[in-house]
Homo-oligomer: A and B are copies of this chain.
Amino acid sequence: MIIGIGAGDPDHLTFQAAKAIAAADVFLLVDKGEAKHDLARLRHDLIAAHARPSHRIVEVRDPERDRTSPAYTAAVEDWRSRRARIYESFITGELADGQTGALLVWGDPGVYDSTLAGLEEVDAEFDYEVIPGISSISALTARHRVGLTRVGRPVHVTTGRRLAAEGATADDVLVMLDAACSFAEAGDDFHIYWGAYLGTPDEILISGPVGAVADEIRTARAEARARKGWIMDTYLLRRP
């Protein structure tokens, strides 16, 4: 089972996800070098809180991804193949007949997460279920008390790289994975709703006209990242 566990607040967990955790025999935790993350600890906490006493945890170190490569998609795909081998070993080596394995995924498994695509490359017989979770998109808009969508209008969900390359392609653009703070590219007529560490005690929320708050966001982001060693953030750009 691929279980979405929400954006960072343990109470983002759904009853469906809690039941799925309770139904699993073995958990695969792939450590993306985030062992020191509060998020990694939270994953252990959720298993401790909801799993059956007889559960087992298998921890594996994630294959390194070549983050220096300019061929972003190719690098991700190569990394995903190696990830698929991990899933394969887990399924064929760690699960006895009739046993259920589980993978916990931050946010929603459908939103910029490579677990599902990795599973498709697994060369083994198995069936699986996907449990949806509260995405950082839902967490962001809820905390800012704004809609992701406006009446009858589209919203584009995209990455920081795309925003930097293409600019804002709609009046409402939700941006993820933006380490480069590309929001300034959108132009001053946009309003930004930015959030980091959503749903956690470290949560930071900043909103306002892009021109007015861009520096504040850059500073807050750099300080938080230096202090904690990692950051997860996302934002909505909206032309009023």
Quick check: B159 and A152 within 8 Å, CB to CB? Answer: yes
A138 within 8 A of B: yes
In this assembly, does A48 line the interface, its C-beta being within 8 Å of a C-beta of chain B?
A: no
Neighbouring B residues of A146 by C-beta, 8 Å: 110, 116
Which residues does chain B contribute within 8 Å of A73, judged by CB atoms? 151-152
Give bound CA distance, A156 to B6, whole Å: 22
Binds B, one of A29-37, A96-104, A129-137, A219-227: A129-137
- How many residues of chain A get a CB closer than 8 Å to chain B's CBs? 60
Which of A9-17, A82-90, A180-188 participates in binding chain B?
Answer: A9-17
Partner of A133 from B15, B128, B138 at Cβ < 8 Å: B138
A148 CB–B CB distance under 8 Å: yes
Do residues B143 and A130 form an inter-chain contact, with CB atoms below 8 A?
yes
Q: When the two chains form their complex, are residues B4 and A111 in contact, meaning their CB atoms are under 8 A apart?
A: no
Cβ contacts A154-181/B at 8 Å (1 or 0 each): 1111110110000001100000000000
Contact for A151 among B117, B134, B143, CB less than 8 A: B117
A157 to B174, CA, bound (A): 10
Question: In residues 57-82 of chain A, which contact B (Cβ within 8 Å)?
Answer: 72-73, 76-77, 80
Copies in the complex: 2
Greatest chain B CB density within 10 A among A112, A113, A145, A151 is at A151
A contact face: mostly helix, strand, loop, or mixed = mixed
Asked whether, in the complex, the Cβ of A130 is within 8 Å of the Cβ of B114, the reply is: no
Interchain CB contact (< 8 A) of A138 among B4, B18, B149: B4
Q: Choose one: B130, B143, B151, B155; the contact of A76 (CB below 8 Å).
A: B151
A18–B11 Cα gap in the complex (Å)?
A: 9
- Contacting residue for A149 out of B18, B133, B134, B157, CB 8 A: B157
A108:B138 contact, CB within 8 angstroms: yes
Task: Check if A19 is an interface residue, CB within 8 A of chain B.
Answer: yes
Contact flag A161-B157 (CB < 8 Å), given A15-B10, A133-B138, A138-B135:
no
Please name 18 further chain A to chain B contacts, defined as beta carbons within 8 Å, in addition to the given A13-B14, A76-B151, sorted by A numbering: A11-B15, A12-B14, A14-B15, A108-B138, A109-B141, A110-B137, A110-B138, A110-B149, A114-B151, A117-B151, A128-B145, A130-B142, A130-B145, A138-B138, A152-B162, A154-B162, A155-B158, A156-B156
